[in-house]
Chains A and B, each alone.
Chain A
Amino acid sequence: MLPCTNYRRTDNILCSATNSRTFPPAHSPRPYAPVANTKLTGAISTIGSSFSVQEAKLKIAVVDESAARAEVIAEGLREAGLTDVHLLVERTGLVTRLTSLAPDVILINLENSRRDMLEESFTLSRALSRPIAMFVDQTDERAISEAVDAGISAYVVDGMRKERIKPILELAVRRFHAFARLQGELAEAKSELAERKTVDKAKMLLMKRRKIDEATAYGLLRKQAMDSGRRIADVAEALISVEALLGDQS
């Protein structure tokens, strides 16, 4: 058990606090776009890790303000055979919930604003039978470093062997990366859609102005793009901007 009685009132602070601006991790191709569709998580293939019966019983808490990402990570852990996985996505009552849950492992996103409060509560718990510390393995700093790069930190109960934690952490890192990739793809799909709309709008403009058909209009855009070494979508956007500026005067 974590003794966190001191923290009960503090927890409520977080319900009114807005989430801090996040910093896109180095591996991320673009800043995170909000993703509401958790169904997409099924699209991530799980790289199976086989856990022994003993490992499967480890109680793992996934703490993340992004419910979608927490679900992606939890799903990966469950698919790999870990059965006791808990999601903590609400901003309120975190320490209290962790206290009653008493997990063996806590996985938390690096950009979570509650980390300092959590670490303080872990420090206070040192006197108890199951103190919690940050997972640090100096013999394999690379594993930790990769986790930090991915945006994860891990806390484990004292005395747990590193061989038991490492595969869990590695799995979480892979899922974290997969989630970022998924978001990248989603953002890409969104921007492709937006580009198609822009091109359509530019085509309509040309058709109206020059009294030409759709295929000719598209041909003009494509030729201009090729001649100027730009993308069709960029030419289309430029055309729309010019139209907005010059209006119907010409």
Chain B
Amino acid sequence: MRFFLKFWKILFDSPEHLQVVPNTGFTKWLTTFTAGAMSFLAVVGLAFSLICSDLAYEWGESLKNSSSIRFSAPADLLEKQTNIALAILDQTRGVESARLVGIGDKKKLLEPWLGVDFPLEAIAMPALIEIEETELGVNYEGLRLRLSAELPSAILHNHSQWRRPIEVVATLVSQLGIFTVILITLSSFAMVTMAANAALSANVKVLRVLRLVGAFDTFIVTAFVRRFTLRVFLGSLLGTLCAGLVLFFIPTFSENLGILDDVNLDLTDKIYIASVPFLFAIISIFVTRNAVRSSLKRLV
């Protein structure tokens, strides 16, 4: 709260500072629009990066300590063979829990391809046992050997063939998101610099008049920094709000697919996004200060 009060004081405290720099002309809209557009891109890029980062973590975590056993058996032997498999797993180190995937779960898994009311019971489907592992993990070679001896039709999947590419792709996408955010931040820096310089060029007369009437350089710098930072902050706030609305109205992944639960912007992510206008304001303070100082040096 103290930070916001301080920030508010820096921007609005002295009306004299704001009064001397005109709040009109195309540069007003140029600065505000540039800050808004770049903030919009920054927020979307940041959200993209954060979601991908969460996605990479979720996918990696969900597949990290799981494996499955698939076997085919006639209906009358299914229960017996399931019990054999569950007994083997019960005795295997590193197995947290194991359960037979029921017909309801299978239907749900195949629903996107077969539809809601497909009579899956009519088809001879292999039995599937889902294994939850402990942090230590399972000795797959040992388990495979035992299964081949006691349940020859069983095939063990340790999910690594799925997990690794998914993790790699998700990490790459996440890194691409971070790179995008860095690029957008640097571009924002450049754009705000150009907008500030354009605005200053249009206000050279103001600099001359202020110098003429004995304004200290610190007063002139503060006046321009306040005016421009206010514009950048308001533009950035609008851009961030627009991007926030867009993100809000995009349906969450989990609603559509059901396999990517919890992939959403959490509170920390929202705080990062909310900090974008403040980041732009800080950029504007530095950029404007330097631009005004160099303009004052060139002034006769």
Q: Do A and B bind each other?
A: no
